[in-house]
Structure 1
Amino acid sequence: MGGLRESERAEQGALRLSIGLSVALAAIALIVGVASGTRIVIFDGAYMLIGLILSWASLRASSAVAAGPTRRFPFGRDALAPFVVAIQGVAIAGTLLFAAGDAVVIIRDGGTDVNPVVIAAYGAVTATIGSAVAWWLPRAAGRSDLVAAEAAQWRAGAVLSIVMTVGAVAALLIEMTDLREVVQYIDPVLVLISCVVLVPIPIRLVRSGLNELLEGAPPPATTEEIARVVDEVRNRYGLGEPAIRSSKVGRKLYVEVDFLVAASQWDVSEEDGVRHAVIDGLSHLGLDVWATVALTTDRDLVD
């Protein structure tokens, strides 16, 4: 449990840093966007503000999960983590939908004047910061679904900034040609392109969150590791092929392993040994393993 507490502290520290950076960048984005009348920058600032709210929700969820079981929640509140992840996906999807609709209206109304230099400079700075934070977060907090979702937000923001920068450079080049009227459409077109590029991120977040809330199977890599560990334990104790069921909710990894054995050959202490071997074998995953191992003579209980 000491390792889990350490990982929870790292998770909360990473989320706090993310919140602080989000506040600073969102303020800069809104000031620059409003002052220059650039929708793509305002959209970026709004995206960061929504991300800030979601980061705060992630931090609160992390604190609630770290508090452990209570009388009202005897198994803890780990389900808050995938719930917040799914909410993050829905919120990001709503932001993209609103921004895309606004961009279409602007294109229909004949575009808008922008300063490509402002967009290029802003995009280059935020792309660098966003990429750095997205790279650092998972390394600072290890296996944390909340931090992974946070990193996905920063990665999405970095992609948005890269699209912004490339589009602004293209606009600067177009201004040197006879097609300079096209520059009026650069701002809303950049917003639309960014929305299309970012669509996979909310889909992935919602799918991941719902999978855990519905007690779906863990990620393939985790499932394969469970099978490997159980196979090693089976061979060590001379057991037959087991029935394995597993699911992951937040930091909790539920593993149920049922072995069919002959009558009168095993006692409770030996069953405990098998269970400890499974838990110890999965401890390197950095998750709170809740393992149920049963040695039974009843085939119906295995099937």
Structure 2
Amino acid sequence: MPDPTETERLEQRALTISMWGSLLAALLAIIAAWLSQAQVILLDGLFSLVDFVAALIGARISIDVHRGPDRRRPFGYAAQESAFTTFRSLSLLAIVVFGLITAVRDIFDYVANGTTATLDFRVILVYVLLLLALCGWLFQVSRSAWIRTGRQSEILKLETDVALLAGVTTAAYGAALLLLPFLDGTPLAFLVPIGDPLIVILVSLFMLWKYGRDFRAGLAQLLGATANPQEIRAATRAVRGIFEDSPGEVIDVALVRMGRRFDAVVFFDPEAPITAREVDSLTLSLEEALNDVLGPVEVYLVLSEYGRAWGQPDVP
């Protein structure tokens, strides 16, 4: 395997920091949940534990995606990035469902038996402050690496979003927990005993929306869904610019995103004899043009009169 480039080294360094940062966050959450009896902190720790495992796997995948096609993967390794983001989201959705079930059970236990955990708000305050500092640092590390590597890495972008989301949710549920004692003696005092499971439910519902959206986006890439309209328009303009002075007609442009890379299939009717060397030259020109507007693109130039319209009655 060739020596890593500066881009790969930056990415690996950021992912390594994210990995150990996530493990530290998970350990802090587990200890804080045990000391404070707050279920929402335990849920946060489970998220961080999945993030640790995901960063561990993502570090390896971020190396593989730079590899070109070979006998094992004739279309390259870019799909691994989409698979990674999809199954990471699926794992987190499983934790969200577990959190929802646990929170609902705790509320029913309180209604039926009047039993509820006693929260230690000093531990909660210390934990929230520590985690906010850790999340801010991890966000800065991942975002800086993502920008310096050309804003192409889906894994680095995911780690950046994860650190930001963790910080925002920690601040939100931390503030909600710390406000519970101030509800005593108010019309909302009935919320105090079930405040922790209620916050778990709210956090879980938000995460259900967030990770459900990420799962659908990753699954769409794995299933070969077309890229968004803006990307398709940009690709089509770049392709037609290459063929402006060439005889023939661009029939169609198919574009799908696969992790940090796009796969583009350009259907072209040359309307005249064309050599293999000319096809290769056009393919390289297309790759350069599309790289300028989209980033990494794998181009397949297909000579065809009908493109994807195979329903034409006179196509043999």
TM-score over 0.5 for the pair: yes
Shift of residue 145, structure 1, vs aligned partner: 1.7
Cα distance per residue 1:35-73 (max 9 Å; x no partner): 122211122112111221122121222233345444433
Aligned to 2:183: 174
Confirm or deny: 8 A CA contact 2:90 2:215 kept in the other structure: yes
Aligned to 2:286: 278
Aligned to 2:225: 216
Query: What is the alpha-carbon distance in structure 2 between the residues aligned to residue 30 and residue 302 of structure 1?
Result: 54
Match of 2:161 among 148, 152, 157: 152
Output aligned runs, 1:113-152, within 5 Å: 113-131=118-136, 133-134=138-139, 136-141=141-146, 142-152=151-161
Please give the TM-score of this superposition, normalised by the length of structure 1. 0.85
More helix per residue: 1
Q: Confirm or deny that 1:81 pairs with 2:89.
A: no
Q: Using a 3 Å threshold, how does the CA distance of structure 1 residues 199 and 179 change in structure 2: closer, same or farther?
A: closer
Shift of residue 174, structure 1, vs aligned partner: 1.1
Confirm or deny: 8 A CA contact 2:248 2:271 kept in the other structure: no
Query: What is the alpha-carbon distance in structure 2 between the residues aligned to residue 8 and residue 285 of structure 1?
Result: 22
* Aligned partner of residue 293 in structure 1, secondary structure: strand
Aligned to 1:204: 213
Query: What is the alpha-carbon distance in structure 1 between the residues aligned to residue 145 and residue 225 of structure 2?
Result: 27
Query: What is the alpha-carbon distance in structure 2 between the residues aligned to residue 58 and residue 16 of structure 1?
Result: 10
Query: What is the alpha-carbon distance in structure 1 between the residues aligned to residue 122 and residue 303 of structure 2?
Result: 70
Give the residue type in structure 2 aligned to 1:235: E
Aligned to 2:314: none
Q: Using a 3 Å threshold, how does the CA distance of structure 1 residues 42 and 294 change in structure 2: closer, same or farther?
A: closer
Aligned to 1:293: 301
* Aligned partner of residue 243 in structure 2, secondary structure: helix
Confirm or deny: 8 A CA contact 2:36 2:121 kept in the other structure: no
Give the residue type in structure 2 aligned to 1:114: L
Any stretches of 5+ residues in structure 2 without a counterpart?
Answer: 111-115, 310-316
Any stretches of 5+ residues in structure 1 without a counterpart?
Answer: none
Confirm or deny: 8 A CA contact 2:136 2:167 kept in the other structure: yes
What is the CA RMSD across the aligned residues, in angstroms?
2.8
- Percent same amino acid at aligned positions? 21
Query: What is the alpha-carbon distance in structure 1 between the residues aligned to residue 70 and residue 249 of structure 2?
Result: 38
Query: What is the alpha-carbon distance in structure 2 between the residues aligned to residue 116 and residue 69 of structure 1?
Result: 55
Shift of residue 219, structure 1, vs aligned partner: 4.0
Q: Confirm or deny that 1:186 pairs with 2:195.
A: yes
Query: What is the alpha-carbon distance in structure 1 between the residues aligned to residue 175 and residue 96 of structure 2?
Result: 20
Query: What is the alpha-carbon distance in structure 1 between the residues aligned to residue 11 and residue 233 of structure 2?
Result: 25
Query: What is the alpha-carbon distance in structure 1 between the residues aligned to residue 109 and residue 262 of structure 2?
Result: 53
Query: What is the alpha-carbon distance in structure 2 between the residues aligned to residue 14 and residue 222 of structure 1?
Result: 28
Please give the TM-score of this superposition, normalised by the length of structure 2. 0.82
Shift of residue 289, structure 1, vs aligned partner: 2.3
Q: Using a 3 Å threshold, how does the CA distance of structure 1 residues 140 and 36 change in structure 2: closer, same or farther?
A: same
